Structures are given as structure tokens and as C-alpha cells.
Amino acid sequence: MKKYILVLSSVVFLLVAGASCRQHDFREIVVDVPEMRNQACINAIAKSLGGSPGIRNQKGAVRFDVAGRKITIEYDSLLTADKNIEFLIAKAGFAANAVPADKKAAAALPPECRR
């Protein structure tokens, strides 16, 4: 019985120690956004991304390349996944990589952002 308790307490200790080691796992995703054309589009996307707890809240963590129609985003993969980021952009009305734009949101975009 004592051996069982010793093994169990060792396992619990290792799990707690291992969980506390990784508090952040910052990664970067590049998202293709073919409909992103101008500042109005950037504003709509930035507003949608602003509510995500996993996206870094630092200057330069979200970089928009209008000419290349890409967004580079730094995020904490322990708080959000890259697919969640793509769906946030799609929910704003823009296709993001393979995720299609939400049709209702796309229809509500400013005229300069619509096709």
C-alpha cells in the first residue's frame, strides 16, 4: 500500500510540475485574405481579431500586408488554435485560407470591401 501511495504521489508531482513549465506557446500564422483591399477591410478584420484571448496584444503582433493580401498573426497556441483565427476572420466577412467568408457578414461590410 505504501508503495502504491508513493508511486501515485510521484505521478501527481510530475504532472503538476510538467503542467507549470509551459505557460505560453507563441506561434505565428500567415493567413491569405484575398478580399482584403484597403484600410476599411483591415479595420473590420482587426475588430474581429481584437476579442480573441490567444492573439498577442502587442504592437506588431498582427501585421497586415494589403498588397500581398496576407495577415501575419502571433498567437498563443495554448489559448487558441490557428483554425480559430481563420474562423474569426471568416466571421468578419472575409475568406481566410480555406475557410470561406460568412455570407451575412460579407454582405454587411463597407462597400469598399465588397467585391
Q: Report CA dihedral (35, 40, 42, 43) to the nearest 10 degrees.
A: -140
Hey, what CATH topology would domain 23-113 get? Alpha-Beta Plaits (3.30.70)
Asked whether residue 57 carries a pLDDT value surpassing 70, the answer given is yes
At 28 the three-state DSSP class reads strand
Q: What is the pLDDT of residues 12-23, one digit of tens each?
A: 565 555 555 667
Listed by start position, the domains of the chain span: 23-113
pLDDT tens-digit profile of 3-47? 656 556 665 565 555 555 667 788 999 999 999 999 999 999 999
pLDDT tens-place string over residues 92-111 = 999 999 999 999 999 999 99
C-alpha distances in angstroms, 31 versus 20, 54, 74, 94?
31, 16, 11, 11
